[in-house]
Chains A and B, each alone.
Chain A
Amino acid sequence: MAFTLKLPAALRKAGWKVKIRDKERREPPHVTILRRTDAWRVNLRTGNFMDASPDPSAVPDEVVNHMRSHWERLCRKWDEMYPDNPMKNDD
């Protein structure tokens, strides 16, 4: 089942979402921040934004901090959903 990280009400109201969906581009493990027609992928192994566009600085610190405070949970969810491409995998 797709995982949606519950964000504080103000961020939800502003349209922010943080998700791991059942079908994602698998490499590397990542979480997706969504707002309206834009999306930002964040690498779960490194914590870095994966794409230069849209501009990562457009994501408010509150979203990034909330996501980082639930990092272990997000990593666990990824492993549950993508056991064939787990977080700890160097092949």
Chain B
Amino acid sequence: MAMVTQDATFDLDVFLLDRAKKRPASFAALRPHVVSTLGDVRDSVAHASRDSLWISYANDLTDALMRSLSAGSSALGLGLFVHPLDTKSIPALSAAFRRIAFTADGGFIPADELAEVLRAENRADLFVGGIVNQGTETITFWRGDLQSLTVPFSAFEESGDGTVPDFTSFAVVDFGQTVRLGEYEAAVDAILYEFDRAYRRKIKKERHGTEQSFGASVRRLRKQRGLRREDFEPELSAKTIARIEQGKVKRIHPSTLDVLCDRLSVAADEIRSY
């Protein structure tokens, strides 16, 4: 049976702001301080450090936390607000925490999955939730280290079988590894690969031999964009694209590079990162 990859060195001091009786059991592995009264909030803030992780399921306890902060406490660590958060609270929380994650409409993974993702070694490569903004046609995802990543709706192309994403039906599933939009599912690793250069660099480091060539990067990028070699015509023939991908073109002419960048929708210095 597979071992779940978890960080043996997880050493954040976890504060769970919650009144639910059963939910703290889901977080047991994080050894949280369960904070369920307003008095507990004040005491916890007084003893917390920058290496703390605060997870709140209760609006009024978050409000109490903010009141305690405004009383002059030191900066806290990470804040994850699972309950719908009033947008007016965001500036104060952003100032008090090193990083915060929040939602408007319950866009986080279930408690048991959240607890496991937060302590997973690969947590930065998993999503814990997100916010869909219909106005700007973007989704902002929260990663397991609470960094954010904003992606346009256009990243979720229609599937070959005709399935289209339904942005009114959003969920992160599979322990942060899949984004579900109605019947449409996207692999989180595919989203990161497309939108996070540091993630691509990490993946590329793990590859071997000729796969790291410029031509191999062009080929991967062309596939990622769903293009055929013929789609670069008339400026570049399919035969020329094949020669570039096979590493037979030793020096790429600037005008050729311009066409590649244009059709692949990428900056020249980004190509090698794919």
Tally chain B residues at the interface, Cβ within 8 Å: 44
- Asked whether B143 is an interface residue with its Cβ less than 8 Å from the other chain, the reply is no
- Asked whether B116 is an interface residue with its Cβ less than 8 Å from the other chain, the reply is yes
Nearest chain A residue, comparing its CB with the CB of B120: A37
Query: Is chain A's interface secondary structure helix, strand, loop, or mixed overall?
Result: loop
Minimum CB–CB distance for A47 against chain B, Å: 19
The answer to whether A23 touches B190, judged by C-beta atoms less than 8 angstroms apart, is yes
Minimum CB–CB distance for B24 against chain A, Å: 20
A83 CA to B69 CA, complexed, in Å = 55
Q: Contact size class for A?
A: 20 to 34
Minimum CB–CB distance for B91 against chain A, Å: 33
- Asked whether A8 is an interface residue with its Cβ less than 8 Å from the other chain, the reply is no
Given A37-B126, A37-B177: A23 in contact with B157 (beta carbons within 8 A): yes
The answer to whether B161 touches A23, judged by C-beta atoms less than 8 angstroms apart, is no
The answer to whether A37 touches B5, judged by C-beta atoms less than 8 angstroms apart, is yes
The answer to whether B175 touches A23, judged by C-beta atoms less than 8 angstroms apart, is no
The answer to whether B175 touches A80, judged by C-beta atoms less than 8 angstroms apart, is no
Residues of chain A within 8 A (CB-CB) of B223 are 26-27, 84-85
Residue from the set B1, B117, B183, B229 with the largest chain A CB neighbour count within 10 Å: B1
| Interface Cβ pair total, 8 Å cutoff | 108
The answer to whether A14 touches B117, judged by C-beta atoms less than 8 angstroms apart, is no
- Asked whether B2 is an interface residue with its Cβ less than 8 Å from the other chain, the reply is yes
- Asked whether A34 is an interface residue with its Cβ less than 8 Å from the other chain, the reply is yes
A72 CA to B156 CA, complexed, in Å = 27
Given A34-B174, A54-B2, A58-B2: A2 in contact with B183 (beta carbons within 8 A): yes
The answer to whether B160 touches A21, judged by C-beta atoms less than 8 angstroms apart, is no
The answer to whether A52 touches B220, judged by C-beta atoms less than 8 angstroms apart, is no
- Asked whether B4 is an interface residue with its Cβ less than 8 Å from the other chain, the reply is yes
The answer to whether A84 touches B226, judged by C-beta atoms less than 8 angstroms apart, is yes
Residue from the set A19, A38, A83 with the largest chain B CB neighbour count within 10 Å: A38
Minimum CB–CB distance for A28 against chain B, Å: 8
- Asked whether B163 is an interface residue with its Cβ less than 8 Å from the other chain, the reply is yes
- Asked whether B257 is an interface residue with its Cβ less than 8 Å from the other chain, the reply is no
Minimum CB–CB distance for A49 against chain B, Å: 13
Minimum CB–CB distance for A21 against chain B, Å: 4
The answer to whether A23 touches B187, judged by C-beta atoms less than 8 angstroms apart, is yes
Nearest chain B residue, comparing its CB with the CB of A23: B186
B residues engaging A (CB < 8 A)? 1-6, 116-117, 120, 122-123, 126, 155-157, 159-161, 163, 165, 174-178, 183-187, 189-191, 193, 206, 219-220, 223-224, 226-229, 242
A-B contact pairs, 8 of them (CB 8 A): A2-B178, A2-B185, A17-B174, A19-B178, A53-B206, A81-B159, A84-B228, A91-B228
Going nearest first, the 6 A-B pairs with the smallest beta carbon separation are: A2-B185, A23-B186, A58-B2, A22-B159, A27-B223, A21-B185
**Could you list 5 further interchain pairs (A-B, Cβ under 8 angstroms) beyond the known A1-B184, A23-B157, A37-B117?**
A27-B220, A37-B123, A54-B2, A60-B1, A81-B161
